[in-house]
Amino acid sequence: MNPRIEAAISTDEMIVDLFAGAGGASEGIEAAAGRPADIAINHDAAAIRMHQTNHPDTKHFISDIWEVDPREATGGRPVGLLWMSPDCKHFSRAKGQTPVQASVRALADVLHTWIEKAPPRIIILENVQEFEGWGPLLETEKGLRPDPDRVGETFRAWLAKIVNAGYSVDFKPMNAADYGAATTRVRLFLIARRDRDAVIFPEATHDKKAADGLEPWIPVANVINWEHPTKSIFNRTRPLAEATMNRIAMGLERYVTNGDPYIVRHGHYSKRTGAGIRPGAGAGLFRGQGLDAPIGTICATNDKNLVVPWLVKHYGGMVGNPMSDTLGTITTRDSQSVADALLAPVDATDRGHDVAAFLVKYFGTAVGQSMRSPLGTLTTKDRYALIQVHGQPYRIIDVRMRMLQPDELYKAQGFRADYIHTHDYDGRKFTKTEQIRFVGNSVCPAAAEALVGAQVAA
């Protein structure tokens, strides 16, 4: 056990994880505290099964949060740390204009019950940044909507009750990428203490540009499982939506021209190594051959190709990200995918016309632009599919795409490599939809570890 934590959270004190979900916060707590949470509470039976599979020494309650009596749950033992991550959907801007539910927004009020009946020494709360704007609701024709004239009113009253109960409180947004997760998940974290020790927020360990001697953000390329096959966007039985095709076309223009090619086995990614190989990878992302080797030798064999992959986002106005960027916020639905442009030397003619026609269609003659030259200088559509790799011309012969898979999402969120998310302790399998919902709702373990560690070091 970490001696700092043994002194800060004694074995006589309990650790409680409210709204525990599938275990992200508990993962971080255990990494920092050296012991698992004593209690985990969540109403979702499937999520608790995943939590119990990975945290068998924790006492689990499958229950509405209001139905658990703090005194009975703790058996009268003092609570050293209470973590809570109340449902954020009815605060998040992702909710859009959909009506909200007052009962869901009020879930954070359960904290006052715990303060009254089993007052924790340290409290950490995680939610979306909009939680700070929690206010009264208005009845509209489309349902309840936040009152724009009373933004934050309920939050301030809720916060005042915590302060009046004798707690020192502070809160701020934190980006999980700054603490070693491969996702730019930004959440509001609130810390409250009643032990007279200072509220401390952890110092960042990573930085987007590796400034001030910090580690660089983890690129999305590090979490991609290159064994998962992609599928051509052309001639599908069920064509991709026009909005998706537009995003892919814009991604081709933005990321493939100056892209970072990978060497892969013919047909797709390597089955022997389980990875694509980024030529010339100085960061040690993958095993493989540098692009400074003769490119003809690499690509002239029958079992290798060059691809330029990038990430496609299926929400908001985003085009996507290059593989060198950190993954965006993971949601509870399929919302991000991997696309790649398959390259071949200019003497390869198969599929080049498909790509060129695709780019013309989705860029349009009014705004379109080739990969190398202004549209007005073009003489044939084929020029759209030409790029340069270390000075040598290559043709894009296919464009492929697939959604990110659960194993990649859990890795990006920062779960340990052996975290079990495919099945429970009885061997019952979780569906892909369940796995994605659980990880999208989860706390990044790295953020939880950093926050808990900062409190015990205070």
Residue 6 has pLDDT above 90, yes or no: no
pLDDT band for position 47 (50/70/90)? very high
**Mean pLDDT calculated for residue range 177-184:** 95
Residue 173 has pLDDT above 70, yes or no: yes
Residue 267 has pLDDT above 50, yes or no: no
Residue 296 has pLDDT above 60, yes or no: no
User: Residue 372's pLDDT is what?
Assistant: 37
Q: How far apart are CA 382 and CA 375, in angstroms?
A: 12
Least confident of 152-156, 264-268, 421-425: 264-268
Least confident of 3-17, 205-219, 441-455: 3-17
Residue 164 has pLDDT above 90, yes or no: yes
pLDDT band for position 143 (50/70/90)? confident
Bridging pattern class, strands 79-84 and 122-127: parallel
Residue 423 has pLDDT above 70, yes or no: yes
User: Residue 277's pLDDT is what?
Assistant: 44
What are the two backbone dihedrals, phi and then psi, of residue 30, each rounded to the nearest 5 degrees?
Answer: -65, -35
Q: How far apart are CA 314 and CA 247, in angstroms?
A: 8
pLDDT band for position 427 (50/70/90)? very high
Q: What residue ranges define each of the domains in the chain, with the CATH number in brackets?
A: 3-217+430-456 (3.40.50.150), 226-404 (no CATH)
Q: What is the DSSP letter of 253?
A: I
Of 57-66, 274-283, 376-385, which has the strongest mean pLDDT? 57-66
Q: How far apart are CA 24 and CA 443, in angstroms?
A: 5
Q: Which two tokens stand for residue 353?
A: 């016309």
What mean pLDDT value characterizes the chain? 81
Q: How far apart are CA 453 and CA 200, in angstroms?
A: 10
Beta bridge partners of 388: 393
For a pLDDT cut of 70, what percent of the chain falls above it?
77
* Contact yes or no for 452/32 (Cβ under 8 A): yes
**Mean pLDDT calculated for residue range 249-275:** 62
User: Residues 337-380: pLDDT tens digits?
Assistant: 999 988 888 765 556 678 877 877 776 543 333 333 333 333 34
**Mean pLDDT calculated for residue range 321-339:** 87
**Mean pLDDT calculated for residue range 26-50:** 96
**Mean pLDDT calculated for residue range 2-24:** 80
Residue 443 has pLDDT above 60, yes or no: yes
Q: How far apart are CA 272 and CA 441, in angstroms?
A: 34
Least confident of 9-18, 177-186, 354-363: 354-363
The secondary element (H helix, E strand) that includes residue 105 is helix 102-105
**Mean pLDDT calculated for residue range 381-407:** 80
Least confident of 120-129, 356-365, 401-410: 356-365
pLDDT band for position 202 (50/70/90)? very high
Residue 433 has pLDDT above 50, yes or no: yes
User: Residue 286's pLDDT is what?
Assistant: 54
Least confident of 46-50, 254-258, 325-329, 417-421: 254-258
Could you tell me which residue, 428 or 345, shows the higher pLDDT? 428
pLDDT band for position 22 (50/70/90)? very high
User: Residue 16's pLDDT is what?
Assistant: 98
Residue 188 has pLDDT above 80, yes or no: yes
Q: What is the DSSP letter of 79?
A: E
* Contact yes or no for 412/330 (Cβ under 8 A): yes
Q: How far apart are CA 292 and CA 406, in angstroms?
A: 34
User: Residues 205-258: pLDDT tens digits?
Assistant: 999 999 999 999 999 889 999 889 889 999 899 999 888 898 888 888 888 866
Could you tell me which residue, 128 or 305, shows the higher pLDDT? 128
